[in-house]
A and B are shown apart, each in its own frame.
Chain A
Amino acid sequence: MTTEHIRSAEPDLPAGGPARPSGLVLPRYRHDDPDTHPPMLFPDYGSTNLRAPKQPLALLPQRLTEVTGPLLGAGRPGDLDHDLTRQHAGEPQGQRIIVHGRVLDGNGRPIPHTLVEIWQPNAAGRYRHVNDNWPAPLDPNFTGVGRTLTDAEGHYRFVTIQPGAYPWRNHPNAWRPAHIHFSLFGQAFTQRLVTQMYFPGDPLFFQDPVFNSVRDPLARERLISRYDHSVTEPEWALGFEFDLVLRGREATPFEDGDDDD
């Protein structure tokens, strides 16, 4: 029940994988608790009203296309892509910060060599984007885009600038709490995740519908980074730790099941 058995029904399919006693086996990824992720429709966030599907989602069984995924990486990040403070001739304005952590699956296993993409506004809260025109200054020395690969133990590390909060028009006097956008692939289509990292103690959380669209308070806490003094560099930069957890696999008879309770 925890595995999918795929019979080689077509004789011309090459038998490339290791021989297994009961046929071909696919991993299966656990479904997240329904309150872990935001609902598609969340009226407090006005843009969901015309974009959230009205029909119930159909369940897509996890087959070959779902348990595989793009293993991008080698060659994609450039040497300075992880350091957003060194991508221009001069240094950007603002508080220099180090954001680091691990990419894990729900079984606590690190996800190695996986692409992590981030984007953010500058210290004044403005994105270098043609549609962001609120009256805060652009910084000629800050693009706000980073990418890196996790190492063999799932670690990643960025150097950047503390992003500013910024106003939007969702509700009266609406401000987004400071955040950094994260995009992750993991190892399978099932694990694809785009999220936002927030900072501890932000006074704007109470009025932000994006943050509060996550209804499980414990899950919401997982969006907030932790100040990490052990990574803070003297006379240089403040450290923040942010681990990301992608969906874990169910145990199978062919895997080391001792990772699961």
Chain B
Amino acid sequence: MTEHTDLTPTFGTGLAVGTSASPVGTAALAPTPSLGSTPAQTVGPYLHIGLLWPDGPEVVPEGTAGAFWIRGQVFDGAGAVVPDALVETWQADPDGRFDHPDDPRGAQSPAVPGFRGFGRSATDADGRYEIRTLKPGALPGADGETEAPHLNLSIFARGLLHRLVTRLYFPDEEAANAADPVLGAIDPTRRATLVARPAPDGLRFDIHLQGPDETVFFAV
């Protein structure tokens, strides 16, 4: 249960995530897995031939009531746009439910026709991605707290040997964001990197892989 209150970026024995320390991090937490995981490798520069879908950016179909665009740019540590990244999103439906057997409240088909929960967009030559979606509902958490509406994002690119994970929160949810257990564990000076900004047809959410405005990324 410590996971809910101790969000420091360490695993069981106090190893910092991403260090090259010896591989003892999980031994104290769990039985040794019977099979080691397959390592991640970069998507490389040619991901577009394999991973793009015509309907990739459409978490909901065109014409869905209440749908809006999340748009943003991906930047590297020199402030240059990243024109060969892939951004994926995963989220609850507007009722805060998942159509998934491991939602312990029961898998629930979304009330919105065609709601997929998942979006995928490559960045263009200007580093821009876009996802059309609906705002997810809040989620119940452990110990009675509530998670503010959010999307989980995975970022893949040449030069990223493993995916990066971040979260997008909503700018019009100030009270819910203030009570969110994940945001609350983040250094206050960096929390703003996880909150989207209003835009004319939705939200803007830029992702800085590195640099003074570096986005908060997670080990999940």
Which listed residue, B104, B160, B181, B186, touches A6 by the CB 8 Å rule? B104
Q: Does A213 contact B (CB under 8 A)?
A: yes
Q: Does B201 contact A (CB under 8 A)?
A: no
A64 and B77 form a contact (CB under 8 A): no
A36 and B36 form a contact (CB under 8 A): yes
Give the residues in chain A near B116, CB-CB below 8 Å.
Answer: 70, 72
B159 and A119 form a contact (CB under 8 A): no
Question: What distance in Å separates the Cβ of A70 from its nearest Cβ neighbour in chain B?
Answer: 4
Q: Does A112 contact B (CB under 8 A)?
A: no
Contact count band on B: 35 or more
Q: Does B114 contact A (CB under 8 A)?
A: no
Question: What distance in Å separates the Cβ of A58 from its nearest Cβ neighbour in chain B?
Answer: 5
A128 and B37 form a contact (CB under 8 A): no
- For window 52-69 of chain A, which residues contact chain B by CB distance below 8 Å? 52-69
A194 and B40 form a contact (CB under 8 A): yes
Among A49, A68, A248, residue most surrounded by chain B Cβ atoms (within 10 Å): A68
Q: Does A138 contact B (CB under 8 A)?
A: no
State the majority secondary structure of interface residues on B. loop
- For window 17-40 of chain A, which residues contact chain B by CB distance below 8 Å? 17-18, 20, 24-27, 30-40
A219 to B144, CA, bound (A): 40
Question: What distance in Å separates the Cβ of A222 from its nearest Cβ neighbour in chain B?
Answer: 5
Question: What distance in Å separates the Cβ of A6 from its nearest Cβ neighbour in chain B?
Answer: 5
Question: What distance in Å separates the Cβ of A67 from its nearest Cβ neighbour in chain B?
Answer: 5
How many A residues have CB within 8 A of the partner chain?
Answer: 110
Stretch in A90-98, A152-160, A181-189, A228-236 touching the partner:
A181-189
Question: What distance in Å separates the Cβ of B21 from its nearest Cβ neighbour in chain A?
Answer: 7
B39 and A214 form a contact (CB under 8 A): yes
Q: Does B63 contact A (CB under 8 A)?
A: no
A78 to B40, CA, bound (A): 27
Q: Does A4 contact B (CB under 8 A)?
A: yes
Given the known interface contacts A63-B141, A132-B46, the answer about A48 and B20 at a Cβ–Cβ threshold of 8 Å is no
Q: Does B179 contact A (CB under 8 A)?
A: no
For residue A117, which residue of chain B has the nearest CB? Answer: B50
A128 and B9 form a contact (CB under 8 A): no
A21 to B211, CA, bound (A): 48
A58 and B216 form a contact (CB under 8 A): yes
Give the residues in chain B near A49, CB-CB below 8 Å.
Answer: 77, 159
A8 to B105, CA, bound (A): 9
A211 to B36, CA, bound (A): 17
Q: Does B170 contact A (CB under 8 A)?
A: no
Given the known interface contacts A58-B219, A60-B219, the answer about A261 and B141 at a Cβ–Cβ threshold of 8 Å is no
A222 to B36, CA, bound (A): 8
A118 to B47, CA, bound (A): 10
Among B25, B99, B102, B211, residue most surrounded by chain A Cβ atoms (within 10 Å): B102
Q: Does B35 contact A (CB under 8 A)?
A: yes
A84 to B77, CA, bound (A): 38
B161 and A33 form a contact (CB under 8 A): no
- For window 111-155 of chain A, which residues contact chain B by CB distance below 8 Å? 117-119, 121, 127-129, 131-132, 143-145
A39 and B161 form a contact (CB under 8 A): yes
Q: Does A5 contact B (CB under 8 A)?
A: yes
Interface pairs (23), CB distance under 8 Å: A8-B140, A30-B26, A30-B30, A31-B26, A36-B39, A48-B161, A50-B209, A56-B18, A57-B9, A57-B18, A58-B9, A59-B9, A63-B142, A64-B92, A64-B103, A65-B92, A65-B147, A65-B152, A129-B45, A181-B50, A194-B156, A210-B41, A210-B161
Q: A39-B161, A59-B11 are in contact. List 14 more A-B contacts (CB 8 A).
A: A7-B143, A33-B23, A37-B37, A37-B162, A50-B159, A58-B218, A59-B218, A63-B142, A65-B92, A108-B34, A181-B44, A193-B37, A196-B42, A261-B31
Top 4 closest pairs, chain A to chain B, by CB: A16-B106, A119-B50, A47-B159, A38-B161
B-binding residues in A (CB < 8 A):
1-2, 4-10, 13-18, 20, 24-27, 30-40, 42, 45, 47-72, 76, 104-108, 117-119, 121, 127-129, 131-132, 143-145, 181, 183, 187-190, 192-196, 210-211, 213-216, 218-220, 222-223, 243-248, 250-251, 259-261
